[in-house]
Amino acid sequence: MNSRAVHPIEAESYRLLAARMDLSSVPPPVAAIVSRVAHATADLDLAASLVAPEHAVDAGVRAIASGAQIVCDVEMLRAGISTLESCCHLRQCEPLAGGFPTRSARGIRLAAEAHPRGAIFAVACAPSALEELSALISRGACVPSLVVALPVGFVGAAVSKARAIEVCADAGVAVISNVGERGGSAAGASVLNALARLAAREEPDV
C-alpha cells in the first residue's frame, strides 16, 4: 500500500510511461528503479540501458534503511536527492591538485578516505570520478555498499561504466549503472530517490 500521496501529474506520467514501456516481466524493485529514471529523464532509451540487478537494488535499499552515508560526485546530483542526506567533497578540492585529472576525481578520493566502508557512492557527472572510484575499489581502499555509476558524456563515460561494472563484480560490490554514454545527475538522483522510496515502502505502482 502506498503511504505517500501521489500528485496527479506524477500519476499521469507513470500511466503514460506504462503504456510505452512494458516492465511487467521485470522484478518489482528493479521496475521501480527503471520507471523512476524514465519518469525523471523522459528518456526511455536511457532507462532501458540500465544495469540494475535485483541484488544491487536490494543492497541499496538495505544500505539506505541502515543509514549509510551517501556520497555524490557533484553538487547537482546532491541537489536532486529529495529525501536523503548526502555529501559532496568537490568544494574541498583545489583544481588538479596532486596530479588528479579533475577536481571530481580528487573529490572522490577525499570521500573514500572519509568513508572507506559501507557508503553509497553515486557518480553521475564525471567519468574521471568513476575511474578513480574503480581504482580505489580494485585496491581494497574503498568498499561501498553500493555504487551508482551513471556519468554522462562522449569522452570516457561508457568506458568508465564498463570498467566499474567489472571491478565491482570482482570485488563483490553492488553496482547500478547503464550501458553507453547517457547518464547525468537527473538519472543518478532518480535512482537514489527510488531506492529511498523502496526503503520507506513508498514506491509507486509500476
On whether residue 17 sits in a domain, the answer given is: yes
Number of domains in the chain: 1
Q: Could you give the CA distance from residue 11 to residue 89 in angstroms, rounded to a whole number?
A: 36
On whether residue 177 sits in a domain, the answer given is: yes
In this structure, the number of other CB atoms found within 10 A of the CB of residue 98 comes to: 9
Ordered per-residue pLDDT tens for the chain, 206 residues? 345 667 787 788 777 777 888 888 999 999 999 999 999 998 999 999 999 999 999 999 999 999 999 999 999 999 999 889 999 998 887 655 566 678 899 999 999 999 999 999 999 999 999 999 999 999 999 999 999 999 999 999 999 999 999 999 999 999 999 999 999 999 999 999 999 999 998 544 44
Q: Name all contacts of 42-48 with Cβ < 8 Å and 24+ positions apart.
A: 43/182, 43/187, 44/20, 45/182, 46/178, 46/182, 46/183, 46/187, 47/21, 48/21
pLDDT of residue 135: 98
pTM of the model: 0.90
On whether residue 140 sits in a domain, the answer given is: yes
- Residue 152 sits in a domain whose CATH number is 3.40.50.10230
One DSSP character per residue, 130-161 reads HHHHHHHHHTTS-B-SEEEE---SSSSHHHHH
On whether residue 2 sits in a domain, the answer given is: no
pLDDT of residue 18: 77
Which residue bears the cell 574521471?
A: 128
Q: Could you give the CA distance from residue 46 to residue 190 in angstroms, rounded to a whole number?
A: 12
Q: What are phi and psi of 86, to 5 degrees?
A: -145, 170
On whether residue 206 sits in a domain, the answer given is: no
pLDDT of residue 185: 96
Grid cell, residue 18, equals 506504462
Q: State which amino acid sits at residue 88.
A: C
Domain housing 126:
8-199
